[in-house]
Structure 1
Amino acid sequence: MKIEEIKKYAVPVAIIILAIISFFIIKDFLIPLLAAFILAFLIRPIYKSLEKRMPRQLAAIISILLVALVVLVPLVIIVIAVLSQLSSYLSSALLISLIRRVSQLDIFTTLGINLSDIRGKLTEIVISFLGDLTASLPAIAISLVIFFLAMYYALIDWEKLVKKVKAYLPSKNKEKVSIELAKVTKSVLYGSILIAFIQFVISLLGFWIIGIDYYLILAAIIGLFSFIPGLGPAIVWIPAAIIFAMQGKPFASAGTIIMGLILSIYVDTILRAQISGRGTKVHPITMLVGIIGGLALFGIAGFVLGPLILNYTITLIDEIVQD
């Protein structure tokens, strides 16, 4: 083989090897890095507004502090409260009594499902998670530092990053592709995260008003399942209404049905369409597949990262085919 041919193949091979090594270097921090860029995208309007009145570095710091105070701190408090309620609920007499009643239904005996075993496994998972969380505090602290630094530099260097991304886009019409990707991002993020937050707040207030002790757990589950368009809240509120009726709580059951219909008909259908309508339409199937695959690959962050990556891929393939 001639030297020219060796050089021809050596550079691509070296790039691939370096890319693989680089991936293994950053893989443990992939989620905080991706989360930083996503949040930077979401808070860019705030940053741009502040940038007009002050230096961009200060505008970025204030924007990040707002995110920490308005989003991250409440989120941490909610997660701790949900875990506390969940731990308490799994060992409560109420759940044990409910399991005893539901276990007598023919469907569970026919399928051989032991709800007591499931409860025991859930308790083990929660205890194990809390233990792992405590042991992982140093790693979490490092991830947070990387997250905030990445978000800071993403805000102040956004234009440069966009220019570099455009340069690597596999399409003749790079501007059009970048606009489509931005629309997909807005549709997935605004149409999912915002809807999840709205459904969480409504269900939190609803379950609290009708006197459900473990309102935080139910609201958190509804918030998570709301990422699945059409099905999300119904997966939670329909069984909850049935269980409340079985427990002899007609007011709680009726209140849950009313709240559930508001969530499913108005928030999950009408409001979601209004919010997502500003961007590219994202098919519910791609959202569902993206969430399931994302959860398997990224854990809880897959609720957002899975649909985003899948829809980016579909958009890019579509543009390549059109070219």
Structure 2
Amino acid sequence: MGFNPRQYFFLIVLAVAAALVVAMFLPYLQALALAAALAVVFRPLYRWLHKKLNGYEPAAAFLTVVIAVGLVLIPLVVIGGLIFIEARGLISDLHFSGTIQLQGDVANVVHQFFPAFPGSLASYSADAIRWFSSNINGLVSSTFSGFVNFFIGLLGFFYLLKDGDRLSKVLVKWSPLADNHDYQLLDKLESALHAILVGSVVVAAVQGLVAGIGFAIFGIPNPAVWGTVTAFAAFIPAIGTAIVVVPAVLYVAFTGTILQAVGLLLWGTLLVGLVDNFIRPQVIGRGFNVHPFLILLSVIGGLSFFGPLGVLFGPMALALLFALIDMSGHFMEAEANQKS
């Protein structure tokens, strides 16, 4: 059956409207995706509060968001305070031990690694100031954009908790697949998401433990504290543990020997990094029965394709593919039964 001009016109207008909406929402895709992930994880808490509050959805969703934000912010504030106290102590140790007069010794340490590096850092400091001055507008814009994304993420989290069940029913209604297949897909994705998040927690804990052992071996004060900080930093995709390990290497270079610094650098790069590359695929793979090597590829490919949230998107895309492949077998079997 052919299309008449009205149908063509309707389809064109529909495609244009859909493209405009996608273009408007695209800058906030990562915030919305993270909100959806949090909504899935905290849905059991939301349902419990929903029951305790006699079915009042807005209050249950609001309290769930507050609790979730508190679970993130309170540890960050505590860890931030510990970092401030420990960093102040480390700086005091550096000054009182007489091992550093900051600019001169930084240049000496850098010179041992890079002999061609100039002894004076004054020109580089001036360049840094000029760069900051010329890019201040971009920094302000990025900060504002970050706040907007955070706000949209919170709103998305709230409404996905409050209206998530209704949204699932709408998606199932619009889908051309059978309802049982739609719910099967949603269940697979939810299981994959739980496996990814559990894997992230396990990896962060083990990385913090391994880093803490390395800090103790190579003479970092209070290694348990810095190991805990490393565990929290491990949740930041791609650069997580380096945020703590690199300053620790510099501290050892200033207060100890270059050999110790190189040892800690190798420890942090090889052992701590190996934990991420080995344990994460194992834990996630068990969550939805996919080979760990494919999980590792999905994480690495996700980071390069989607950016920081590729740690989440990559395995989710892989889980969706395997769920569809599994479902295709049922389709073929049903079609064969119909023909026979």
> Is this a same-fold pair by TM over 0.5?
yes
User: Using a 3 Å threshold, how does the CA distance of structure 1 residues 276 and 212 change in structure 2: closer, same or farther?
Assistant: farther
Instruction: Return the alpha-carbon distance in structure 1 between the equivalents of residues 37 and 50 of structure 2.
Output: 19
Match of 1:198 among 192, 205, 209: 205
Instruction: Return the alpha-carbon distance in structure 2 between the equivalents of residues 267 and 183 of structure 1.
Output: 21
Give 3-state SS (helix, strand or coil) of 2:287's partner: coil
Instruction: Return the alpha-carbon distance in structure 2 between the equivalents of residues 133 and 273 of structure 1.
Output: 39
Kindly provide the CA deviation profile for residues 178-213 of structure 1, in whole angstroms up to 9, marking residues without a partner as x. 222222222333323x24542564467557654269
Are 1:187 and 1:278, in contact at CA under 8 Å, matched by a contact in 2?
A: yes
Partner of 2:69: 68
% same residue? 17
Deviation of the 1:9 alpha carbon: 2.4
Matched, 1:175 2:174: no
User: Using a 3 Å threshold, how does the CA distance of structure 1 residues 273 and 169 change in structure 2: closer, same or farther?
Assistant: farther
Instruction: Return the alpha-carbon distance in structure 1 between the equivalents of residues 13 and 167 of structure 2.
Output: 24
Partner of 1:155: 161
| Matched pairs, number | 296
Letter in 2 for 1:290: G
Letter in 1 for 2:318: N
Letter in 1 for 2:191: K
CA RMSD of aligned residues (A): 5.1
Match of 2:108 among 97, 100, 112: 97
Instruction: Return the alpha-carbon distance in structure 2 between the equivalents of residues 30 and 187 of structure 1.
Output: 22
User: Using a 3 Å threshold, how does the CA distance of structure 1 residues 5 and 318 change in structure 2: closer, same or farther?
Assistant: same
Matched, 1:186 2:194: yes
Deviation of the 1:288 alpha carbon: 0.7
Letter in 2 for 1:99: V
Are 2:35 and 2:153, in contact at CA under 8 Å, matched by a contact in 1?
A: yes
Structure 1 range deviating more: 242-251 or 161-170 = 242-251
Partner of 1:144: 150
Kindly provide the CA deviation profile for residues 1-56 of structure 1, in whole angstroms up to 9, marking residues without a partner as x. x9952133233222211111112222333222222112111211222222221133
Instruction: Return the alpha-carbon distance in structure 1 between the equivalents of residues 173 and 80 of structure 2.
Output: 40
Partner of 2:6: 7
Matched, 1:310 2:309: no
Letter in 2 for 1:102: F
Aligned pairs for 1:222-261 (under 5 A) are 223=234, 248=257
Kindly provide the CA deviation profile for residues 233-257 of structure 1, in whole angstroms up to 9, marking residues without a partner as x. 79x979x889958952777777888
Q: TM-score, normalised by structure 2?
A: 0.63
Structure 1: tracts of 5 or more residues without a match? none
Match of 1:291 among 295, 303, 313: 303
Structure 1 range deviating more: 252-261 or 14-23 = 252-261
Letter in 1 for 2:195: S
Instruction: Return the alpha-carbon distance in structure 2 between the equivalents of residues 126 and 189 of structure 1.
Output: 38
Structure 2: tracts of 5 or more residues without a match? 92-101, 332-340
Are 1:203 and 1:219, in contact at CA under 8 Å, matched by a contact in 2?
A: no
Deviation of the 1:98 alpha carbon: 3.6
